[in-house]
Amino acid sequence: MTIEVREVDIDMLPVYAELPNSFKVESELRVEPIDGGLGGLVLVEQMVKPYIKYDEPETDPPEKWPSLFGEDRLGVLMAFRGTRPVGGTTLILGFQPGITTPFDKDGIAALWDIRVHPDERRSGIGSLLLGRSALWARERGCTYMRIETQNTNVPACKFYAKNSCILIAVHRQGYASTKLAHESMLLWHLDL
């Protein structure tokens, strides 16, 4: 059965929220400065004691996103196998990842969230969703998309790199004031 990706109304966010966003962390990208940082940074994959990330209820679940970012800024796409939801993405127009609040910035879309049902991962659905998300943003006049992830999500980093995204920033203390203080923020760029 083929996968259909389509834009959905925000009233589908409760269904979207039923798609698990948790994943197993088995390795991390350790950020190492070269020559005290003057020579740049290198990311070194290291194995860690496995754990599940996002295994607790979301602090800001998808149903809250319209009030957080504004309904007019959101785009919600979902992937279906027949009638069964198997994945989704949420985009925010005029939002810069790494900045805590939305702002009016022409030409930018942020891929706020992407999730694929665990039974369907590594089947190409993520690439379909990313491609359709890029098209959605382009149709709205955006020239690039920004994506934020963490050094603990190595599969996502490899996925973005494989799908023509470029790592443009590493914020070693991007989450310093949160419970994720041990993680580094990685910002990706995709030209549209």
Q: What is the pLDDT of residue 103?
A: 54
Residues sharing a CB contact under 8 Å with residue 36, sequence separation 6 or more, in sequence order? none
For residue 98, the model assigns a pLDDT of: 67
List pLDDT tens digits, range 130-186.
999 999 999 999 999 999 999 999 999 999 999 999 999 999 999 998 888 999 999
Give CA–CA dist 97/35, Å, rounded: 28
Q: Does CATH place domain 3-191 in 1.10.287.70?
A: no
The H or E element that residue 49 is part of is: strand 41-53
**Domain extents in the chain:** 3-191
Band (pLDDT 50/70/90 cuts) for residue 28 is very high
Q: What is the pLDDT of residue 137?
A: 97
CA angle 89, 171, 189 (to 5 degrees): 40
SS3 192: coil
Which residue in 164, 182, 160 sits closest to 173, CA to CA?
Answer: 182
